[in-house]
Structure 1
Amino acid sequence: MVPKVARPTIPRADVEVDVDLESHLDDGAYLWGTLLTLRDGRPLEDEGYRPFVTWSRLPDADEGRAFAEFWRWLTGIRDRAAGQGRSFRAYCYSRAAENGWLLLGGRFGPEGTLAVVKGVPGVAEVRRFISSPLWVDVHEAVATQFVSTSGLGLKVVAPVAGFTWRDPEAGGEASLGWYRDAQAARGVERDAGRERILAYNEDDVRATRAVREWITRFG
């Protein structure tokens, strides 16, 4: 990883949320993982990882319920920060994936084609958020300020920033298999499969934060 600008930068805020989703092919997004960081040290809500998940077999309206809970929490954090005069930003590693599923969440909203789920935002509300400066694409910040001979994916960049995934098999393709196995399993094996997915998702949002902090230190 070699910088191509003198001082790499990325927008930061008093209140920061890293976001990573897990989906199964085109069936739906079953998990929205979040990581809350309070950089100014002032109280707001407990920092740390929060998953918003459905384990129902997709496609299923419970996907809408999980999305609604995620959206309500995320926008609640944003609005509470603003009410306290604090800056806020949310981050994903690549908005191409997150934006697509954020907009597809509208399938369960008032303009959607599926059963309406209470709390799912309209598409216009989602578009306003993802087109605002509050939603930051970390991959874009990396790609515009660094070059690499090994690619610029999260699994490449985060180790340079000092981050290590707990699962040696961590990866998007592997997680598809874990999800299918967890769906098919019962009892202890099912629970273990779900915990593996949650741990992987948590590591992804922590890796995203590690890259942001590395860029800040680099600059």
Structure 2
Amino acid sequence: MKFTVSTLLFAAAAAAAVSTVSAETWKITNEDSGSRQNLCALQVSTCQNNCGGPDQAPMAFCNTTTMAWGCGCLKKTPDFETWNWPIPAADCKGSNDVCVNNCNGQSGDRSKCFISCQDTHKCNTEDAPVSYTETDDTSTEPRYVGPAVSYKGDKLGDLNDGNDRSNLVASEDESSSNSDDSSSKEGETDKEKDSKNSDATSVFKTASLALAAVVFAAVSI
């Protein structure tokens, strides 16, 4: 059996494509309708209980479509830690679950990836990643994705939940420092180039291995 160069290249490209696993992307609205309704009911009741009853919680709301939520009491400020409210807690758990799933989709040693998920998703604590779901009213859509920081104010590593936060973090850092340092911007550009080059090298290596396998099979035949 004879193989043309184009056939071998096509086979190599196909093998490389098969080896690529698409990462999941987390968003709390990914939850099914029933789960969203249950979460919202729990969110509202938790707010009402914290305020002292339904009549004391005029700003207890939760949108079952967007998952926008808020809590405001009539005679007090809610004293429930934000990271323990049902919606933020569920948002953290969902992000962690996707992080773990994305680790499972990687090749090679996944232990460091799993440890990173644990380190960046300390749900129900002040070290949990901030949930960008709280709004001023039920009609306002949440931001959903923001800089990866904890409620304590610490910067977190990559949450690995499919959401790109690199520009959000850079933008916040620039606004807080009020710095226009061109060398810093060039450094960020270099990092982006290095990342792209690394990805390209990885794909090339995968394609090369696949091509070598096809050629070996052809020679054997």
Q: Which bin holds the TM-score, normalised by the shorter protein?
A: under 0.3
> Which structure's residues are more often strand, by fraction?
1
TM-score by length of 2: 0.26
> Which structure's residues are more often helix, by fraction?
2
Instruction: Determine which structure has more spread, i.e. the larger CA radius of gyration.
Output: 2
